[in-house]
Structure 1
Amino acid sequence: MHRPLCMLAAAGFGLTLALPAAAQQLTISAAASLTEAMREIGTRFEATKPGVTVRFNFAASGALVQQIIQGAPVDVFASADQETMDRGVAQKVIDPATRRDFASNSLVMITPLQGAPALTRLTDLTQPAVKRIAVGKPATVPVGRYTQQALTAAQLWGPLEPRLVFADNVRQVLDYVARGEVEAGFVYRTDAELMKDRVRVALTATGHAPITYPVAVVTDSRQPQLAREFAAYLNGAEAQAILARFGFGKP
C-alpha cells in the first residue's frame, strides 16, 4: 500500500532535523605564554559557534611557525613576537591582510621564592652566588630574544653567557626557577603570575623591543572564514577581558 506523499515528505523532513550540523574544527597554534587565556577564549568562542570545535597547539612561537612552514594543518597562528610572524609572512604561509596585534606583555626576572640570593638589579646576576640563569633559546623562543636584547643593552649577555641555561619555551624557564634548579630566569609577567607561590619577581627588564602578540590566518587554512572570525574575536570585548584577567595588556 502506497503512503500518502504528504506523509513521506513529513518523514523526510523529520530525518533531516535529526541529522547533526556538520562539525567544524578550528586549529590554532599559539605561543606557550597564552595557554591558559587561550583555552578559556576558545571555550567562549565555541559557545558562540554551535558545531565548532577549537583545538590548540601550544609551544614556542618559532617552533610553531616552523611546523606551519612544513605543512602542519593550522588555521590561525598567534605569536609572542613580531619577528616570528614576519618569518611566516616571508615564507608566504601567513595571510598578511589578516594580521592584527591583540595583546602585550612585559619581561621580568624571577627567582625562586625560597633560598635564592637577593637580586634587585641585572648587574646582581654577576654575583658568584648566581651560577645558573634560565633563558629561552633566542633562535626559536621570543622570550629568549627579548632577554638577549635586555642583557645586551646592559652589556651583560657576553659576561653571563657561561651561566645561561637555555629552555625550549617560556614555561620551561618558569619550571626551572620554580623547582630551584636555577638562581634566576626571565619570563613574561603573565607567566610569573601563575606561580606566585613559588617564584618572586625581582625586576621588570627594559632595553628590549616592545612585547606585542600578533595573530593571523594561515594561508592554507581549511576554515578561512572561521579563522578570520576567531582572529577578530581576539580583539573583541569578551576576549580582551579574559586576556586582561590573565595579566596581558592592550596591544
Structure 2
Amino acid sequence: MEAFPLKKIALSVLSLLLSVTLLVTASPVQQANAAQKQTELLISAAASLKDSLDVIEKQYEKAHPDIKLTFNYGSSGTLQKQIEEGAPADLFFSAGKKQMDALEKQGLVTGSKNLLLNDLVMIVPSDSKKKFTTVKELTDKSIKKIAIGQPESVPAGQYAKETLETRKVWDALQDKLVYAKDVRQVLTYVETGNVEAGFVYKTDALISTKVKIAIRVASDVHSPIVYPAGVVSDSKHSAEAKAFYAYLQTAEASSIFVKYGFSLPK
C-alpha cells in the first residue's frame, strides 16, 4: 500500500533535481548571451584624463548596462598615430588641439569640440626645500634634471617647451632635460626624486601627495591648453560613440571634470 506513494515522491524529487541541473547548466549560456548584447566602446584618451574618466566610466556603465567602456591612455601624439595607422577606436579625447586638427584634416575624426581647459604648472618633490619665483631659476647649477614630455608627441611637453622658449632659457637647459613618454611619467619622475622639477598639468599635480606646485605658469607664454574630443570616423559603433560623446558634455560629466581640476570653456 505504501510503495506507490513512496515511488511517486521519489519521481517528484528526481524531476526537481533534473530541473535544477538544467537551470544551472543553462545559466552560463544566459550570461554569455547577456554579455554578447553589450557594446564595447574604445576610447583613446590623453593620460591626464585618467582619474576623471575612471569615475565617469563607472557612472556611465551603471546607467547604461549595455555599454562597456574600454580606455586606451597615452600621450595625445601617440594616440593620434595609432588612429592614423588604423588602430581601433570609437572616440578620441586629446590634450592638444594640434593632434585633433591633424586627424580631422585627414577625415579620421569628425565634429570635435573643445570640452575642457587646463593649466601648466611646474612641480617639485613635496620635501623639496628649493623655492622658485620664475622658470629662469632652473638654470641654477643646483638643478641637475628637469622632466618634460616629449614636445613632438606630448602636448604638455609642447607647452613646457613654448614656456621655456618664451622665457629664453630653452637652449640653456638642454643638458638638464629628461624627456617622458607622457605627462604621467613626468609626474612619476618628480614623485620618485629622479628629477628636481617637472612640467605637468595642474590636474596631475592635484592627484599626488608626493609633489607640490612650485610655479603656476602664466597662460600667455604658451598655446592655449584645450582638450578636444571627437568621434572616430571609422567607429563600428557610431551611434553609441556619439551618445557617450554627448554625455561628456553634460552637467553631470562636467562636474566630475571640474572636481579633478579642469575648467570649462566659456
Tell me if both proteins adopt one fold, taking TM over 0.5 as the criterion.
Answer: yes
Letter aligned with residue 79 of structure 2: L
Letter in 1 for 2:215: L
Flag structure 1 segments of 5+ consecutive residues without an equivalent: 1-17
| Equivalent runs, 1:127-142 vs 2, <5 Å | 127-142=140-155
Matched, 1:148 2:197: no
Query: Is residue 78 of structure 2 the alignment partner of residue 63 of structure 1?
Result: yes
Report the counterpart of residue 93 of structure 2 in structure 1.
Answer: 78
Q: 2:125 aligned to 78, 100, 112, which one?
A: 112
Number of residue-to-residue matches in the alignment: 231
Give the structure 2 partner of residue 173 of structure 1.
Answer: 186
Name the structure 2 match of 1:221.
235
In structure 2, C-alpha distance between the alignment counterparts of 1:223 and 1:231, rounded to whole Å: 12
SS in 2 for 1:37: helix
Asked if 2 retains the 8 angstrom alpha-carbon contact of 1:136 and 1:169, the reply is yes
Tell me if 1:243 matches 2:257: yes
Q: 2:138 aligns with which of 125, 135, 138?
A: 125
Sequence identity, in percent?
40
Give the distance between the partners of 1:242 and 1:72, measured in 2 at CA.
29
Counterpart AA for 1:79: S
Runs of 4+ displaced beyond 4 Å: none
Instruction: Please name the residue that 2:56 is paired with.
Output: 41
**Structure 2 residue ranges without an equivalent (≥5):** 1-29
Secondary structure of the 1:99 match is strand
Q: CA 1:72 to 1:119, structure 2 compared with 1: closer, same or farther past 3 Å?
A: same
Per-residue displacement from partner, 1:13-36 (whole Å, max 9, x unpaired)? xxxxx7637211111000000001
The question of 1:233 aligning with 2:247 is answered: yes
The residue aligned with 2:114 is: 101
d(CA) in 1 for partners of 2:197 and 2:73? Answer: 24
Q: Between Structure 1 and Structure 2, whose CA radius of gyration is higher? A: 2
CA drift of 1:116 comes to 4.8
Deviations 1:168-225 (A, max 9, x none): 0000000000111111100000000111x21110111120111110000001001101
* Structure with greater helix share of residues: 2
RMSD: 1.2
Instruction: Give the conservation status (yes or no) of the 8 Å contact 1:117–1:183.
Output: no
Asked if residue 182 in structure 1 is aligned to residue 199 in structure 2, the reply is no
- Distance apart, 1:235 and its partner CA: 1.1
TM-fit CA distance, 1:93: 1.3
